[in-house]
Amino acid sequence: MSKLTKLFKHPIQFFLDAGKGKKKAAEKKAIEKKIAAAEKKAVAAEKKAAAAEKKAVAAEKKAAAAEKKAAEKKAAADKKETETKGTKTMLASIIKSIIPVSNVNLSHIEIVLYFDGKMGNIYQVQQWIGTLNELHKKKPILIITRVKEVYDWLSAHTDFIVVYCRTINDVIELNEENNFKCILYVNNGAKNFQSLINGRALHVHINHGESDKTSTITNQSKAYDYVFIVGDAAYDKYYLNLIKKDMSKYIKVGRPQLEHIERIPPFDSGYVEIPTVEENSLMSQENAQKVPRKVILYAPTWEGTHESMNFTSLNDFGMAIVQQLLAHPDYYLVYKPHPNTGSRDSLTKKINESIIKLLDKNSKGKAILGGDINSLYEHIDLAIFDNSAVAIDYLLADKPMLMTDMFYKVKDRESKPTIVKAARMITEREMYGIPMIVADELENDNLKDERNKVRRYFLGDFNYAKKESTHKFISTLFDICDERDHLVDNLKKINEDYTIL
């Protein structure tokens, strides 16, 4: 029966059935809604449980990491404690652990080179190696160093016995166990004072270069029994600037390092074409003559340990000098900065690094960061220096040089720098005419006669070709060793005869 037929024949039953259907549909819908809500709640609960589980895993990892870190920290602390406990034993045997002193007879060692400096200062010893080799042939020497890296380098690059003393106790024990007669110093390092404790040896400062910097006339020279100087210039600097001095302790020995310069090959500077003028014709490019480019050295000094020692031209002139010479077709630039350049001043360091990078990409120049600068002088045509010892050494090459005028920084000395008489000075006003100044000096060498006078004043009249300076250096040390023996014997007699109370 259709719904319409049912409606006409049984209207009451129709409406009763319709009400029941509605009720069932509503109940069904309510059940479905409850099921959907329950499912949603279950999904949320499941997500919450997953998040809680993830959080628990993260917490567990964090706890494990913290535990690991704590364990590593404890292990490091235990290691440090162990090392601390063993320090005294380690230091007591440090000399024997590095060099088996018990297996090396040091009783024959009379002359010692003591070096307080890091690897950045190794050049101070390196320049003496040739001279010390000559000395070593006649009297074996020992080198004492205070830095492990320096010990490693000297052991690998020299044939001398090298000892590393980490503490003052190591230095004192080494001196007490041996009979050193003469101890040499190449600088005024702060720990030199620890070596000067040895009252049974004579102490000699031999320096690492001769310049017009105030460091070469320091009052610290009075700490040593003798100071080896190069020539009249050094003598006059001490005489004219120290208010109380014994000038007999300043001994002229020349510059023996200049007699032991390592030879290197010339630079591949390339060629420049010079057109020739043929008779009854215009300039002919076809017959152009190829000549090597002139090699120009720029060797700025560093910024010094303090501002009154800051003679570097890098901050003022450095990049201008380099760019002008690279841009000129006739010149090949060799850049040789001081090994300590940029160690005190960040701007100097940045400029130095920029110049090195520039030269790495340029075929008309080269940066040389190691080796002895004296090896370069044979192959260059002109040098540009700041106020530095390397300019004094260059005098022996008898070639034109320029010097940056940074002498306004000289404030704590009375005498005037003499080296300026041997070089064409470059002022700030002339800074952007470098190529013209270089060309003029290469062609005319305007200061040659004056430069030779200055050379004799600084380097003396030693015949460096015949190694007269090396001979003077060694013979003077032998005399000092003999004097020391006489002084020790004399002191012994004084103590035997002296009565107290």
Q: Where are the domains of the chain?
A: 292-462
For residues 97-101, give the mean pLDDT. Answer: 46
CA distance readout (Å), 426 to 212, 405, 410: 17, 6, 17
When comparing pLDDT for 282 and 432, which is higher?
432
Closest-CA residue to 366 (of 392, 346, 386, 337): 337
Looking at the predicted structure, is the pLDDT value of residue 213 above 50?
yes
Gyration radius of the chain over CA positions: 41
Closest-CA residue to 481 (of 206, 228, 204): 204
Band of pLDDT at residue 417, cut at 50, 70 and 90: confident
CA distance readout (Å), 435 to 75, 299, 322, 328, 398: 64, 16, 11, 7, 21
Looking at the predicted structure, is the pLDDT value of residue 92 above 60?
no
For residues 39-60, give the mean pLDDT. Answer: 72
What pLDDT sits at residue 261? Answer: 94
Percent of the chain with pLDDT over 70: 81
Q: In whole angstroms, give the CA distance from residue 314 to residue 318.
A: 4
What pLDDT sits at residue 55? Answer: 76
List beta partners, residue 144: 114, 163
Percent of the chain with pLDDT over 90: 62
**pLDDT tens, position by position, 68-84:** 777 777 777 767 666 66
Band of pLDDT at residue 401, cut at 50, 70 and 90: very high
Closest-CA residue to 301 (of 345, 270, 258): 345
Q: How many CA atoms lie within 13 A of 218 on its CB side?
A: 16
For residues 13-27, give the mean pLDDT. Answer: 63
Looking at the predicted structure, is the pLDDT value of residue 104 above 80?
no
Mean pLDDT of the chain: 86
User: Residue 355: helix, strand or coil by DSSP?
Assistant: helix
- Rama region for 304: left / alpha / beta (φ>0; ψ in -120 to 50; rest): left
What pLDDT sits at residue 209? Answer: 83
Closest-CA residue to 390 (of 118, 124, 129, 113): 124
What pLDDT sits at residue 352? Answer: 96
Looking at the predicted structure, is the pLDDT value of residue 17 above 70?
no
Q: In whole angstroms, give the CA distance from residue 274 to residue 287.
A: 9
Band of pLDDT at residue 1, cut at 50, 70 and 90: low
- Within 8 A by CB and 6+ apart from 172, the residues are 194, 197
- Rama region for 201: left / alpha / beta (φ>0; ψ in -120 to 50; rest): beta
User: Residue 350: helix, strand or coil by DSSP?
Assistant: helix
Band of pLDDT at residue 93, cut at 50, 70 and 90: very low
Looking at the predicted structure, is the pLDDT value of residue 26 above 70?
no
Would you tell me how many other CB atoms lie within 10 Å of the CB of residue 78? Answer: 10
Band of pLDDT at residue 244, cut at 50, 70 and 90: very high
The CATH homologous superfamily of the domain defined by 292-462: Glycogen Phosphorylase B; (3.40.50.2000)
When comparing pLDDT for 272 and 53, which is higher?
272
* H helices present in 340-447, as ranges: 346-360, 389-394, 434-444
pTM, two decimals, is 0.73
What pLDDT sits at residue 233? Answer: 92
List beta partners, residue 205: 185, 227
Least confident of 166-170, 212-216, 244-248, 438-442: 212-216
Q: In whole angstroms, give the CA distance from residue 105 to residue 322.
A: 53
Looking at the predicted structure, is the pLDDT value of residue 310 above 80?
yes
CA distance readout (Å), 314 to 206, 260, 370: 29, 30, 18
When comparing pLDDT for 206 and 9, which is higher?
206
CA distance readout (Å), 104 to 96, 100, 145, 161, 501: 10, 6, 17, 9, 45
For residues 348-371, give the mean pLDDT. Answer: 95
What pLDDT sits at residue 418? Answer: 86
